[in-house]
Structure 1
Amino acid sequence: MGVKYVTVYAFSIDNFRWDPHEVQALMDLIKAKIDQLLTEESLLKKFDARINFRGNLELLTDLVRLSAKRAMDMTVYNKGPVLSVCVAYTSTDEITHAVEASLREKRKNVQIDVCDLDRNMYTAGCVEPDIIIRTSGETRLSNFLLWQSDFTHLQNPKPYWPEFSLRHLVCAVLEYQKVHGYLKKCKGETQKNK
């Protein structure tokens, strides 16, 4: 289908407020899934895919952070599709991080522009999403990619994540194709007026 970049929201910073046993179980699951991706017969190797973990990774357990770093290091030179996993992430934390990092860079000159913030986002280097799919019929973004989604087509199909299938993905791409020209035109007009 020509999809080269996929970003998934795996774990919000807000989720750390959950029961500690539940959080630990999710950290263990994340580590197990990362380790599974790194096996010899992995899809990452088959498709020469690159994986990135985006977010405040210092909040993760040591074992999860080390597995994530290993996955990024092992796939950094891969040339195929890119999977970005937002973990220990919220947009508000990302924007705050970008402002703080930009201020540290500028020190004396405290004037910050959009380019400074873009450069210091956790998602720096990622392409802006064409589509955000919010499963379960939810109509809110849940603090996900707010900075990056000004020209993104938001969809909210009814199935929950585990039931979201290839059929649903194909429908999402077809829906996006219907509005692609309009979004491209809007983005072009905005950039022209800057």
Structure 2
Amino acid sequence: MEEERSENMMSKLLVRLNSTARHLLFRVVSTGPIPQHIAFILDGNRRFAKKWNLTEGGGHKAGFLALMSVLKYCYEIGVKYVTVYAFSLDNFNRRPDEVQYVMDLMQEKIEGFLKELTLVNKYGVRVLFVGDIERLYTPVRVAAEKAMEATAHNTTTYLLVCVAYTSSHEIPRAIYESCEEKSGVTRVTMNGNGYGNGDDHEVGIKVVDLEKHMYFRVAPDPDILVRSSGETRLSNFLVWQTVNCVLYSPKALWPEMGLWQVVWGILKFQKNYKYLEKKKKQA
């Protein structure tokens, strides 16, 4: 009994020391500019499961735990928007049993999230599901809508979860809706500047028209795009929004992502900050 009490005290002490060290580290990092928005491609869950001989789906469960830690670190250091690429439209082409497993896991985690609303509201996290959410299986879509409604009043930090999303779907959809909005005119045109040629019966579509209809109109463009597992492909994710953005590809598989990957990504952003700001002003 005494030994167990000593172990618990030591465990609490280590947790407290770890928290103190982390906050000191964040204070040092915060002397430089902090990104407003970090986006993550969650790559490597299945490879992690294979690497550690986990049962099918074990990699996704480990990946969810990593996501919770990464979110905590981002919000603690002052990042306002965090976006995660949870499930692309292309993922629906995977084996039906794998798609079903991910959908079930997503529903389970969203419903678990809804049970922790007191803590979520304490930190002011607003959750937004971004993409063609009508494509989600009904129980997942209903749970996602409940999470968005339950956190709609929060404005301190934002978690954007990309589901049933690809840029090749988002961009044509934005063009179509822009055309629909201008459907009263004879013809809608686009040129390099986003304008028509000046004819009285033609109205051009501007960049601002497209961005008004993008799924990501709800957040500023990312400052950093992080893809785990060392891959450097965008995989049809935020192609429009990452023109002036730091791309960071740590070798860690997604379930292995943690504090140091977040810190290194921010340091890389700070190293390139002046150049990125110059490019944004020229855009």
TM-score category by the smaller chain? over 0.9
One-letter amino acid of the counterpart of residue 99, structure 1 = I
The percent identity for this pair of structures is 48
Which structure is richer in relative contact order (CA contacts within 8 A, separation 6 or more)? 2
Q: Deviations over 1:15-68 (max 9, x none)?
A: 000011110110111111111111136642231100000001111011111111
User: Corresponding residue for 2:243?
Assistant: 150
Q: Deviations over 1:106-148 (max 9, x none)?
A: 1033232111110111111211000000110001111110111
User: Corresponding residue for 1:175?
Assistant: 268
Counterpart CA distance in 2 for 1:125 and 1:40 is 24
User: Corresponding residue for 2:196?
Assistant: none
One-letter amino acid of the counterpart of residue 188, structure 1 = K
Secondary structure of the equivalent of 2:239? Answer: coil
Counterpart CA distance in 2 for 1:149 and 1:121 is 14
Counterpart CA distance in 2 for 1:176 and 1:29 is 33
User: Corresponding residue for 2:147?
Assistant: 71
Structure 1 residue 33 corresponds to structure 2 residue 109: yes
TM-score of the pair, normalised by structure 1: 0.94
Aligned length: 190
One-letter amino acid of the counterpart of residue 7, structure 1 = T
Q: For 1:30-179, list aligned pairs within 5 A.
A: 30-40=106-116, 43-109=119-185, 110=188, 111-179=204-272
Q: Identify if the C-alpha distance between structure 1 residues 127 and 43 changes in structure 2 by more than 3 Å, giving closer, same or farther.
A: farther
Unaligned stretches of 5+ residues in structure 2: 1-76, 189-203
User: Corresponding residue for 1:185?
Assistant: 278
Counterpart CA distance in 2 for 1:141 and 1:40 is 33
Coordinate RMSD, CA, aligned: 1.2
Whether contact under 8 Å (1:36, 1:42) holds in the other structure is no
Q: Which has the higher helix share?
A: 2
Whether contact under 8 Å (1:37, 1:43) holds in the other structure is no
